[in-house]
Structure 1
Amino acid sequence: MKKHYLFVLSFFIFNASIWAQQARFGVKAGLNVSNIDNNDSFYDKNSNYRTSFHTGLFAEIPLSSKFSFQPELLYSSIGKVDEYDLNYRSFDLEPLSADSFKLVQKRNYLAIPLTFRWFVGERFSINAGPQVSFLLNTVSKAKGDDLPESFNEVYKASGDFKLDYGAVLGVGYTINDNLNIGLQYYRGLKDLFGDSDFDIIDRKAYHSVFQLTASYSVF
């Protein structure tokens, strides 16, 4: 049995050395258009997409002439923008000069996509795979005209590296040997309310992110 284990270990070490020699490394950056899907209709109808960015490093490891494995390490800022109507109130308040405001919720992650690329032509590819992310911090800020002073405070909190996970699916186009552009979608599979200290019955929320990205192989 020990000989079998040694053979398997040697096989993986040998192939890993070949993959490392053939691998390409580079940088990537692009646009995030994100929201948080919510099964609560009250919160979902007020929720809108937030535009931000992602940037980081990648490695492309060929597995065959048509397939490759592409792990990445990215800083990715996602979240959503909620709109609230201040004229709709169920209790008396002092008159407000603003009719509405937007609450921008930023969630900044260290994201690790582990995708596989399938080259369906000379320049086109399809990529898919899992992604795990660790929450670095959250930032919330109200925006609007003539808001009361109490609304202008920025709320920041550590993310304590809370885990998010999901799946990535996208397409890519190779412009030349070094430059590639792509469009992909990330769907979170981790219920964000699972991290809450409150017992919220039948309320779930998941990340939903469209990404337009450009990657450049450095070596």
Structure 2
Amino acid sequence: MKKLSLLLALSLATVTAFAQKNDTNGPVGLRSSTDYDAGTSGSRNTGFGIKGGFNLADVYGDSKANFANSSNSKTFHAGIYGQYGFNNRLSIQPELLYSRQGFQGTSTNTPTSGTPATVNDRRLDYLQLPVLLVFNILDNVSIHAGPQVSLLTKVTEDGKERKIANEGNVYGYSYTSIDYGVSAGAEARVGPARVGARYTAGFNEIIKDQLATTGSKALTDIKNSVFQVYLGIGFTQ
């Protein structure tokens, strides 16, 4: 018991001495987002990290009304990011994300065979490249906005994978392989962790090359709409 008490006393004395020494050299701890070394970009706004989270995916556009029982899809995204600070407030942040999107809604389209094809659930897998300007409004709170471009890598309709580019357009329509749009959101930091929310609006039509058939409704004027909530871990330089 005496040995334990002595060990605790020595440990406390060591910690106290270390704290007093650091206190004479100024405050210590994690650098803030707006704390820069003179003449460098070495703040917490410069580094890289990983991130991932929840997608609430849907579509918007004039043709959305032509899909019965439409609703959003609850999916996910994940990827990496890099960040470079220009000054004590402004930085640029490119990202590379895998984002699963899509929407639910019943539509009937007549393909070349003449047999109606009904689809209820569409899943669209994208590789996304957003390039965002980040502005710190507070020490550990920032807003961000910028353009993004997406490459469609996989399409699933009611659980069945289908081709993105359809030779002969046997389905009566096809999917656009490239999407582009804008993203905007906000983020907070706690130590190395990040938590944020973002909205991304696509500007390109998801569906194209719809065949004109008697009594068919337009399906092509729909675009991606995604709300994201994410967590991330950053590594500063």
What is the TM-score of this pair, normalised by structure 1?
0.70
> What is the rounded CA distance, in whole Å, between the counterparts of 1:102 and 1:202 in structure 2?
12
In structure 2, the CA distance between the partners of 1:23 and 1:77, relative to structure 1 (3 Å rule), is same
The residue that corresponds to 2:232 in the other structure is 215
The residue that corresponds to 1:170 in the other structure is 185
Superimposed CA distance per residue, residues 6-65 of structure 1 (whole angstroms, 9 cap, x where no aligned partner)? xxxxxxxxxxxx769983011110111001113136425521000101011100110111
In structure 2, the CA distance between the partners of 1:202 and 1:53, relative to structure 1 (3 Å rule), is closer
Question: How far 1:83 sits from its partner (Å)?
Answer: 5.0
Residues 37 and 44, structure 1, Cα contact 8 Å, conserved in 2: no
Residues 73 and 111, structure 1, Cα contact 8 Å, conserved in 2: yes
Superimposed CA distance per residue, residues 134-181 of structure 1 (whole angstroms, 9 cap, x where no aligned partner)? 000101116xxxxxxxxxxx24334698210000010111111x2111
Residue 189, structure 1, aligned to residue 206, structure 2: no
2:149 pairs with 97, 112, 132, which one? 132
> What is the rounded CA distance, in whole Å, between the counterparts of 1:214 and 1:130 in structure 2?
21
> What is the rounded CA distance, in whole Å, between the counterparts of 2:132 and 2:161 in structure 1?
34
Amino acid at match of 1:216: I
In structure 2, the CA distance between the partners of 1:163 and 1:203, relative to structure 1 (3 Å rule), is closer
* Percent of residue pairs bearing the same amino acid type: 24
The residue that corresponds to 2:135 in the other structure is 118
Q: Which runs of 5+ in 1 are unaligned?
A: 1-17, 85-100, 143-153
Question: Residue 88 of structure 2 aligns to a residue in which SS?
Answer: coil
Any runs of at least 4 consecutive aligned residues in structure 1 with deviations exceeding 3 A, and if so which?
Answer: 18-23, 158-161, 197-203
1:53 pairs with 76, 79, 84, which one? 76
Greater CA deviation, 102-111 or 207-216?
102-111
> What is the rounded CA distance, in whole Å, between the counterparts of 1:41 and 1:128 in structure 2?
26
Residues 186 and 197, structure 2, Cα contact 8 Å, conserved in 1: yes
Q: CA RMSD in A?
A: 2.9
The residue that corresponds to 1:74 in the other structure is 97
In structure 2, the CA distance between the partners of 1:202 and 1:141, relative to structure 1 (3 Å rule), is closer
In structure 2, the CA distance between the partners of 1:19 and 1:164, relative to structure 1 (3 Å rule), is farther
Q: Which has the larger radius of gyration?
A: 2
Amino acid at match of 2:189: T
> What is the rounded CA distance, in whole Å, between the counterparts of 1:51 and 1:155 in structure 2?
19
In structure 2, the CA distance between the partners of 1:67 and 1:141, relative to structure 1 (3 Å rule), is same
What is the TM-score of this pair, normalised by structure 2?
0.65
Counterparts of 1:86-105 in structure 2, within 5 Å, are: 103-105=120-122
Superimposed CA distance per residue, residues 40-98 of structure 1 (whole angstroms, 9 cap, x where no aligned partner)? 364255210001010111001101110110000011000011258xxxxxxxxxxxxxx
In structure 2, the CA distance between the partners of 1:138 and 1:218, relative to structure 1 (3 Å rule), is same
Q: Which runs of 5+ in 2 are unaligned?
A: 1-39, 108-117, 166-174
